[in-house]
Amino acid sequence: MTQSTLKMKNITIDFPGVRALDDAQFSMNTGKVHALIGANGAGKSTLMKVLSGAYTHYTGEILLNNKKIEIRSPQDAKDLGIQIVYQEVDTALIPYLTVGENIMLNKMVNGMGKRQFIQYSQIHKEASKLLEELNINVSSRRLVRTLTLAEKQMILIARAISRDCRFLILDEPTAPLSSAETERLFEIVRQLRASNVGIIFISHRLQELFEICDEITVMRNGKFISHDRIGEVTIDSIVEKMLGKQMEEQFPTVERDIKDKIFEVEHLRDDEKVEDVSFHVCAGEVIGLAGLVGAGKTEICKALFGESSHLEGTVKMHGRALKIRNSNQAVHYGLALVPEERRKEGILVGENVKTNLTSANLSYFSHRFSFLNFRKERKVSTEMVERLGVKTPSIETKLANLSGGNQQKIAIGKWLIADADVYIFDEPTKGVDVGSKKDIFTLILELAKRGKAIIYASSELTEIVGITDRSYVIYDGKVVKELQTDKTTEEQLLFYSTGGRD
């Protein structure tokens, strides 16, 4: 098999108020898996969007096998065999079409011109074959709307490699996946590498990069920092390069008093996933809902926020039973939820940073049209942007123009500004770089210090051990174990999360 070499040289690109790429470099060969890493806003996605033809206004050169090539449109990239699975999974598929139609979209559109009709049976036959080859257990006839985030991710990969593929770009492909699903994805990646595809793999999970990648490029502030073989670097050295400084202790300690029980859930149950869930949380306390991806944590969080059908059980705040039928009521009762699928549910990508940050708390900023409150909005937004280290040219910038991780930070910041009694965080560090996680942990613990009750749902068991006081392990929609964190190890959490019983 002949190797192809790809080189990007001196790539620079400007957007209003930011130089997203500044003389960036990148080079790799086919038959390799290449990690691309950098803090939120470092320019990873932008560099890959240049490669996939999404941007036309960059300067610099791209070379394939040392020959200069022009990539100025997505079609240019596809013609060269460069395929991409974007970070924004939810916008890349058409929800009301089937899996097969989504995978075969290109062929359908091209084929229609010739024959004027679509042969659905043929589409599903081809798509099913591809899904089977990739060991993806989803029917070609299912509507995309009914898929989980993980399933959508797999479908996007299937679609990318259904076309001629020499280089495949995967932008944070594992963020929504469970560890079993990640393993399956890795098998696909290894299979592709063996057939001489070059894979560019972006992720904030360093362990997994070290497991699957051959080489690693680090970026910082739009610039190229280093390119090494994986065997010749360590996680610590990579983190230092990406942050420009040594990594500090991830989990801060914030002295707190744990006071009265303020929120109680008894025998919560819904029609789908939640089965007999009971727990409580006190003022000043951080409790964990620990469990693997798919255990039912998100469903529990949504149920508490009134987003579940046929809810049974009782939910009490300060001893008073609540009837929460929708998210507005939940907010009214003093609940805040930072949802897992933030792009879909947590933020308004067409609105600016300030509007997003202050939208959850209109009462705080009431009399919205007075001069004073405009000032207050600006002040509070600017402070939150600083505290979370959000990389944005200004608070007037549209969220769509922020990097993925910085959008996540805004979704969290919005509820940190809102004044609630009980905060529910569903996988709050997903897509956030290792340097910024600490800022989020600190803010959460400070909320607890102010007497708020925190429910922290996560599949990152290190985080459960790192920031909670107590945790409930969720398995298959049920609470299977309650643990006191200072007496609990990650191994114990994993044992109960995977179905272990005493």
Ligand X SMILES: Nc1ncnc2c1ncn2[C@@H]1O[C@H](COP(=O)(O)OP(=O)(O)OP(=O)(O)O)[C@@H](O)[C@H]1O
Residues that bind ligand X (CB under 6 A): 15, 18, 20, 38, 40-46, 87, 391, 401-406, 433
Nearest CA to 426 among 388, 467, 454? 454
**Using the 8-state DSSP alphabet, how is residue 230 labeled?**
G
Residue 322 binding: pick among ligand X, Mg ion, none (C-beta 5-8 Å cut-off by kind): none
Closer Cβ to ligand X, 16 or 113, answer by number: 16
Lookup: tokens for 194? 């063996």
Q: How many CB atoms lie within 10 A of CB 324?
A: 21
Shortest distance (Å) from residue 36 CB to Mg ion: 10
What is the smallest separation between the CB atom of 345 and ligand X, expressed in angstroms?
Answer: 19
Which of the listed partners (ligand X, Mg ion, none) does 497 bind, with a CB threshold of 5 to 8 Å by partner kind? none
Cα–Cα distance for residue pair 321/306, rounded to 1 Å: 14
Q: Closest separation between CB of residue 487 and Mg ion, Å? A: 38
Residue number with CB closer to ligand X (102 or 408): 408
User: Whose Cβ is closer to ligand X: residue 42's or residue 336's?
Assistant: 42
Nearer to ligand X by Cβ, of 217 and 471: the residue is 217
For residue 414, the tally of other CB atoms under 10 A from its CB is 25
Shortest distance, position 50 Cβ to ligand X, whole Å: 10
Shortest Cβ 17–ligand X spacing (Å): 8
- What are the distances in angstroms from CA 415 to CA 304, 323, 467? 16, 22, 18
Q: Which is nearer to Mg ion, 43 or 306 (CB)?
A: 43
Residue nearest to Mg ion (CB): 45
Q: What is the nearest approach in angstroms of ligand X to the Cβ of residue 428? A: 14
Q: Which does 402 bind (CB under 5 to 8 A by kind): Mg ion, ligand X, none?
A: ligand X
Nearer to ligand X, 87 or 358 (CB): 87
Tokens of 21: 């790429």
Residue 38 interaction partner, one of Mg ion, ligand X, none, beta carbon < 5-8 Å per kind: ligand X
Q: Which residue is nearest to ligand X (CB)?
A: 405
41 is in the binding site of which of Mg ion, ligand X, none (Cβ under 5 to 8 A by kind)? Answer: ligand X
Which residue, 334 or 431, is less far from Mg ion as judged by CB? 431
Report in angstroms how near the CB of residue 48 gets to Mg ion at its nearest.
8
Euclidean distance between CA atoms 134 and 433, whole angstroms: 30
CB 232 within 8 A of CB 78: no
Count the neighbouring beta carbons within 10 Å of the beta carbon of residue 442. Answer: 17
Partner from ligand X, Mg ion, none binding residue 15, C-beta < 5-8 Å depending on class:
ligand X
How many helices (H) and strands (E) the chain has is answered by: 19, 20
Name 265's Cβ contacts closer than 8 Å, sequence gap at least 6.
Answer: 277, 278, 279, 280, 304, 313, 314, 315, 316
Q: Based on CB atoms, which residue is closest to ligand X, 101 or 171? A: 171
Q: What is the DSSP string of 298-336?
A: HHHHHHHTT-SSS-EEEEEETTEEE---SHHHHHHTTEE
Query: 297 touches which of Mg ion, ligand X, none (CB within 5 to 8 A by kind)?
Result: none
Decide which of Mg ion, ligand X, none touches 46; Cβ closer than 5 to 8 Å per partner kind: ligand X
How far apart (Å, rounded) are the C-alpha atoms in residues 432 and 440? 9
Select 43 or 466, whichever has its Cβ closest to Mg ion. 43
The footprint of Mg ion (CB under 5 A) covers: 45, 87, 403-404
62 binds, among ligand X, Mg ion, none (CB under 5 to 8 A by kind): none
Buried b (16+ CB within 10 A) or exposed e, 337-369: bbbbbbbebbbebeebbbbbbbebbeeebeeee
Contact at 8 Å (CB) between 335 and 328? no
Closest distance between Mg ion and the C-beta of residue 491, in Å? Answer: 32
Taking the complex as a whole, the smallest distance from the CB of residue 20 to Mg ion amounts, in Å, to: 11
Paired tokens of 469 = 């006081």
